[in-house]
């Protein structure tokens, strides 16, 4: 994936996490940290999702710092 920063194997900063992402459309691959809510489990993320409110459950990698200086999460897959 272009622009993807691979996880650092020595830290847990860029681990795969369960999340709910607030987004008007699901065709993006990067999301600002302010639009991402992290959960401890897959079930918790699914329970918090609300597609009618544009909140979708996903597996994300991050956070990473973008070239613009923002913290972002990369979409691994929608769940």
pLDDT at position 47 is 98
Sign of CA dihedral 20, 26, 31, 32: negative
Q: Provide the 10 A C-beta neighbour count for residue 60.
A: 24
Element (H, E) at 48: helix 42-48
What pLDDT score was predicted for residue 64? 85
CA neighbours closer than 13 Å in the CB half-sphere of residue 14? 16
Our separate counts of H helices and E strands in the chain read 1, 5
pLDDT by residue for the chain (79 residues), tens only, comes to: 555 555 556 666 668 899 999 999 999 999 999 999 999 999 999 999 999 999 999 999 988 888 888 899 999 999 9
Two structure tokens written together for 18: 């369960």
pLDDT of residue 65: 83
């Amino acid at each position: 994936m272009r622009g993807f920063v691979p996880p650092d194997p020595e830290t847990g900063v860029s681990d795969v996490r369960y999340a709910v992402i607030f987004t008007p459309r699901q065709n993006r691959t990067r999301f600002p940290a302010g639009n991402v809510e992290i959960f401890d489990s897959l079930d918790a993320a699914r329970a918090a999702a609300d597609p009618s409110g544009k909140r979708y459950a996903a597996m994300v990698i991050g956070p990473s710092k973008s070239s613009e200086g923002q913290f972002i999460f990369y979409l691994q897959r929608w769940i």
